[in-house]
Chain A
Amino acid sequence: MKRFAIASMLFAVAVAASGFLSPGAASAEEIKLVGVITKIEIAGPDATTASATLKDNKTGELVTVIVNDDLTLDKFKDHRIVVGDEIRLKYEVKDGKNISRYFRKTAGC
């Protein structure tokens, strides 16, 4: 019985450590939206991160995301993506911040 209790306790600790009992550490859910960029903030040509604010087409709410991927950052820097562009966005919430995972202009020719 004692052996069983110890094993149960160890199991509970392992489960907690793996995140099952800790909602804050649960894997982030991907959120999708299509919206128009209202603001881009980037700290110069060598910046490795930027923030972009989009107005969600469906809800009208403003959503600000952190953009870290090199390709999108480069498009911000040379203005291939600018305020007013419509974007298809996927992001996840990590440590209270919206992190962009997919940032594409909807328009094409």
Chain B
Amino acid sequence: MKRYLIVLSLLVVAGTAAQAKEHPGKAYIEKNGYQGPATCEAGECHPGTAKAFLSTVHWKHASKVTNVENLDPGEEYGMKNRIYTMCNGNDTVNNLKEVPPNPKTGKTKFTGCNTCHPGDHLSDVGSTGKEAEAAIDCLLCHSSAYDYRLRKPFKDEKGRVVMGQDRSVKAAIAVGKPGVKNCMICHEAAGGGVLIKRGFSFTRETDAHAGKGMVCVDCHGAKDHKIPTGFDPNNWASDGVRVACADCHGEKPHADEDTNRHVARIACQTCHIPKTGGALAKDFTKWTQGEDGFFEPTTLRMEANETTPVYAWYGKTVRNEPHFIGPKGSRGDPGSRIYPFKIFEGKAYYDRKTGMLLSMDFAPPMANGDTLAGVASAAKTLGIREYDPAPGWQTVYFGSSHLVTKGKALSCANCHVPNGALNFKSLGYAEEEIRKLTSAALYFDKMAEKQKESW
């Protein structure tokens, strides 16, 4: 705990200092203008950074994946090529483009999974070389004065779809450590709208870390642009570096030893993230027409903190089957702990011939609701000539590692009661064990003492 307080104090001091201190190079940029990564690399400021960035997940949208079943260890997986039912398209089949005109309105619009890629779309996901290096939009993540009006797709004189960037001097001289909005500009809108996929907002009201003034990169602190991530069963690509609560809080984060004993088998998130949010379910086989004439996958939305998680043993390896993506683990596995998950159900087309999930190009159904045309377009892109589409459901377990609370964390009486948050039977406990685990005898004296003190 003491270590945590020291680290937190240092973070606050460092954060304040970082914000207060002007990033070097202001005079150079004002004199020479901003030419993208070349300016960042000028002199001895950040040499080689652009080339190195091209090997990260943020640029490649993929990486080798070692903890998920049924994958080719020689291949890279991620938003670039994954097929699942939160995002039934991916960068490959649902590449950023102008959708066909809507028959009702005649209007068209740009859409694609790679809208968030930090390039200019001419240099796209996984591209390499000098042109790709020059296309990196450093300021999108590093400027606090980015004009997001400029980050829009448009067609150039050759008819190519280009993603605009703000390369103004104003944006360039406001560079620094990424703030929450720099991350959220992409991460909050994933899955088809604000808070649809992950379902968490990172605000003072919704997260204890945000309440302390922390920003995303205080925990997800990058080295050489490799961003540490956790082990969300549905987030496969990683830069090979990881983040965990214990990195800051240690293995004995509580003053009370009985509570600390839980840490061996109960993940911090289980007690400290009692709610989840975001989309509950989606149907990619039936799209709903909006008043603007365009169609969207039919989606059941929930707010941040509006749904209750499901708890399961998780040893950081993932069961990956056509109709299920979720945690592997058991009570008998000493490496497993009980974690909370948001359960999402998605309906999409499967191939009767292979039993595998098919992906979708969103452009056709977005224009006219024809979902099978979207499947046909994706199949063409992937070189799949024969398939027999049939609707089916997939269950996906999303990790739940945000919306952290201290004050509303689960305590003894939330779990160790007959109708508690944890379903001990499904977690592998015997009837006799459950009787003991759900009895107030476990904590009666301690809680009675606390109750006395609090009044």
A78 touches B189 (CB 8 A): no
Q: How far is the CA of A59 from the CA of B290 in the complex (A)?
A: 13
Question: Does B148 touch A at the CB level, under 8 Å?
Answer: yes
Set of chain A residues within 8 Å of B146, measured between Cβ atoms: 78
Q: A107 touches which one: B112, B185, B193 (CB < 8 A)?
A: B193
Proximity bits, B288-304, A CB within 8 Å = 1, else 0: 00111000100000000
**What number of A-B contacts does a CB cutoff of 8 Å give?**
55
Set of chain B residues within 8 Å of A79, measured between Cβ atoms: 147-149
Given contacts A71-B203, A105-B193, A108-B192, contact A34 B115 (CB under 8 A): no
Question: Does A3 touch B at the CB level, under 8 Å?
Answer: no
Q: How far is the CB of A89 from chain B (nearest CB, A)?
A: 12
A57 touches B290 (CB 8 A): yes
Set of chain B residues within 8 Å of A78, measured between Cβ atoms: 145-148, 181
Given contacts A104-B193, A105-B193, contact A80 B181 (CB under 8 A): yes
Proximity bits, B108-132, A CB within 8 Å = 1, else 0: 0001111110000000000000000
Set of chain A residues within 8 Å of B189, measured between Cβ atoms: 105, 107-109
Proximity bits, A20-64, B CB within 8 Å = 1, else 0: 000000000000001010000000000000000000011000000
Set of chain A residues within 8 Å of B186, measured between Cβ atoms: 109
Set of chain A residues within 8 Å of B116, measured between Cβ atoms: 109
Question: Does B391 touch A at the CB level, under 8 Å?
Answer: no
Identify the closest chain B residue to A103 (Cβ): B194
Given contacts A36-B292, A58-B291, contact A104 B194 (CB under 8 A): yes
Which residues of B133-184 are within 8 A (CB) of A? 145-149, 181
Proximity bits, A80-109, B CB within 8 Å = 1, else 0: 101000100000000000000000111111
B113 touches A109 (CB 8 A): yes
Chain A CB count within 10 A is highest, among B194, B195, B201, B291, for B291
Q: How far is the CB of A33 from chain B (nearest CB, A)?
A: 10
Q: How far is the CA of A15 from the CA of B162 in the complex (A)?
A: 64
Question: Does B191 touch A at the CB level, under 8 Å?
Answer: yes
Set of chain A residues within 8 Å of B190, measured between Cβ atoms: 108-109
Count residues on chain A whose CB falls below 8 Å from chain B CBs.
Answer: 17
Proximity bits, B309-334, A CB within 8 Å = 1, else 0: 00000000000000000000000000
Set of chain A residues within 8 Å of B296, measured between Cβ atoms: 106
Question: Does B196 touch A at the CB level, under 8 Å?
Answer: yes
Q: How far is the CB of A38 from chain B (nearest CB, A)?
A: 14
Q: How far is the CA of A105 from the CA of B186 in the complex (A)?
A: 13
Set of chain B residues within 8 Å of A105, measured between Cβ atoms: 189, 193-194
Identify the closest chain B residue to A60 (Cβ): B291
Proximity bits, B250-261, A CB within 8 Å = 1, else 0: 000000000000
Q: How far is the CA of A86 from the CA of B107 in the complex (A)?
A: 14
B291 touches A34 (CB 8 A): yes
Q: How far is the CA of A78 from the CA of B194 in the complex (A)?
A: 17
Q: How far is the CA of A82 from the CA of B151 in the complex (A)?
A: 12
A108 touches B196 (CB 8 A): yes
Q: How far is the CB of A43 from chain B (nearest CB, A)?
A: 19
B292 touches A86 (CB 8 A): yes
Which residues of B68-108 are within 8 A (CB) of A? none
Q: How far is the CA of A109 from the CA of B405 in the complex (A)?
A: 29
Q: How far is the CA of A107 from the CA of B201 in the complex (A)?
A: 16
Identify the closest chain B residue to A86 (Cβ): B292
A82 touches B149 (CB 8 A): yes
Set of chain A residues within 8 Å of B145, measured between Cβ atoms: 78
Q: How far is the CB of A44 from chain B (nearest CB, A)?
A: 15
Q: A34 touches which one: B192, B194, B201, B290 (CB < 8 A)?
A: B290
Which residues of B13-38 are within 8 A (CB) of A? none
Which residues of B196-232 are within 8 A (CB) of A? 196-197, 201, 203
A106 touches B193 (CB 8 A): yes
Q: How far is the CB of B125 from chain A (nearest CB, A)?
A: 13
Set of chain B residues within 8 Å of A104, measured between Cβ atoms: 193-195
B292 touches A74 (CB 8 A): no
Set of chain A residues within 8 Å of B292, measured between Cβ atoms: 36, 57, 86
Q: A108 touches which one: B147, B194, B203, B290 (CB < 8 A)?
A: B194
Q: How far is the CB of A37 from chain B (nearest CB, A)?
A: 13
Identify the closest chain A residue to B362 (Cβ): A109
Proximity bits, B234-248, A CB within 8 Å = 1, else 0: 000000000000000
Q: How far is the CB of A75 from chain B (nearest CB, A)?
A: 8
| Smallest CB-CB A-B distances: 7 pairs | A57-B291, A108-B193, A108-B189, A79-B149, A109-B115, A108-B192, A104-B194
Q: Knowing that A78-B145, A109-B115 are A-B contacts, what are 10 other residue pairs whose CB atoms are under 8 Å apart, sorted by A's residue number?
A: A78-B148, A79-B147, A80-B148, A86-B290, A108-B190, A108-B194, A109-B111, A109-B113, A109-B189, A109-B191
Where the two chains meet, the residues of A that have a C-beta atom closer than 8 Å to any C-beta of B are 34, 36, 57-58, 71, 74, 78-80, 82, 86, 104-109
Offer 25 A-B interface pairs, CB within 8 angstroms, sorted by A.
A34-B291, A36-B292, A57-B291, A58-B291, A71-B201, A71-B203, A74-B181, A78-B145, A78-B147, A78-B148, A79-B148, A80-B148, A80-B181, A80-B185, A82-B148, A105-B189, A107-B189, A108-B190, A108-B194, A108-B196, A108-B197, A109-B111, A109-B114, A109-B115, A109-B189
